[in-house]
Amino acid sequence: MRCRSGIRVHSLDWDLSGGTTSLTVTSDRAQDITLISRRGMASLTSPTRVGPSPLGPHARNIFLPTGQRTRITVSMPTGTSPEARRRP
């Protein structure tokens, strides 16, 4: 799948019970992008530079180098998975 700004998504996986989403991307050029999760993010891990976003706790800025596959894993805050919302 191709995205805006010359980014290719190679894989996208999520673990609803674990509250994580992982993706592998490649960028056609070196760039900083902003990843947003409307339910917030507990953490975002990647081998590249990751920083806060001025948009708030539901977003993070991440650097993508040119032509390098980058694995990104996002952990959601506790209690935001569909299973957690269904529990009494």
Provide the whole-model pTM: 0.80
Query: pLDDT-based confidence at 4, cuts 50/70/90?
Result: confident
Residues 48-58: tens digit of each pLDDT: 999 999 999 89
* Sign of the dihedral through C-alpha 41, 42, 48, 50: positive
| Mean pLDDT, range 62-73, rounded to an integer | 97
Q: How confident is the model at residue 84 (pLDDT cuts 50, 70, 90)?
A: very low
- Dihedral in degrees, nearest 10, Cα atoms 30, 72, 12, 37: -100
